[in-house]
Structure 1
């Protein structure tokens, strides 16, 4: 029974909702562009934070889910999930709202890449191991 992946998927879905609302807020009102960023950096930052989240999160969650189904140890699943969650929180906030916190973006991407690498490594290793049996 999968219990780890749904936990992180749910928490990340809540963060995606927050990022989505931030984009909607930036685009609403008389000065907000209804499409794109209207050449406004504040809107572009929110749109990219939202898009970047979508670009990475789904694939890493799939990798975590496959690892969980393959019997990965719980500590590894939580390590991947926490790296992804903290990474996406840091990156999304830093990109959407700050120009003076580039460390948040960097640390966020590093944590996301760690989760991606661990997920890819476990899944490839597990698959090769089963093929060789």
Structure 2
């Protein structure tokens, strides 16, 4: 078996994030079908939460995936890519769970956002260090 590379690491995390986005999308569709809402949220709180969980993920995940892909292109150490991908993924999952359950400020939502921001800072610093070194 060949040694894992940064491209392998990035592929793992990009794949998992895409599956997360698909899952969140399916949850929106299920809510729409259950409440017979074709467009918008129909004023249904559970649908509003599902739409926002998906929407928020689509606001944060693409930039993270672009950064992970760039890390792979630059051949950043696989461990750095894994740490970055894991932090972003956990942040997005925890945030989505919190937002899906409540529109209020909750610990999972806050923890998910903080973890997402930590991932962004870690990835940003790693890319800057790579660019300058």
TM-score band w.r.t. shorter chain:
0.7 to 0.9
User: Equivalent residue for 1:117?
Assistant: 121
Q: Which has the higher contact order (CA 8 A, sep 6+)?
A: 2
Say whether residues 1:15 and 2:15 are aligned partners. Answer: no
Count of residues in Structure 1 that have an aligned counterpart in Structure 2: 128
TM (normalized to structure 1)?
A: 0.86
CA RMSD of superposed structures (Å): 1.8
> Aligned partners of 1:68, 1:118: CA distance in 2, in Å?
15
User: Equivalent residue for 1:27?
Assistant: 32
> Aligned partners of 2:89, 2:132: CA distance in 1, in Å?
28
Cα deviations by residue, 1:42-68 (Å, 9 ceiling, x for unpaired): 111100000111110010111112122
> Aligned partners of 1:61, 1:24: CA distance in 2, in Å?
24
CA contact (8 A) 1:80 1:114 kept: no
> Aligned partners of 2:67, 2:76: CA distance in 1, in Å?
11
TM (normalized to structure 2)?
A: 0.86
Cα deviations by residue, 1:88-122 (Å, 9 ceiling, x for unpaired): 11111111124688111111111111111122222
Q: Point out where structure 2 has 5 or more consecutive residues left out of the alignment.
A: none
**Segment drifting more, 79-88 vs 117-126:** 117-126
User: Equivalent residue for 2:94?
Assistant: 90
CA contact (8 A) 1:26 1:43 kept: yes
User: Equivalent residue for 2:41?
Assistant: 37
Q: Structure 2 residue aligned with 1:79, among 71, 80, 83? A: 83
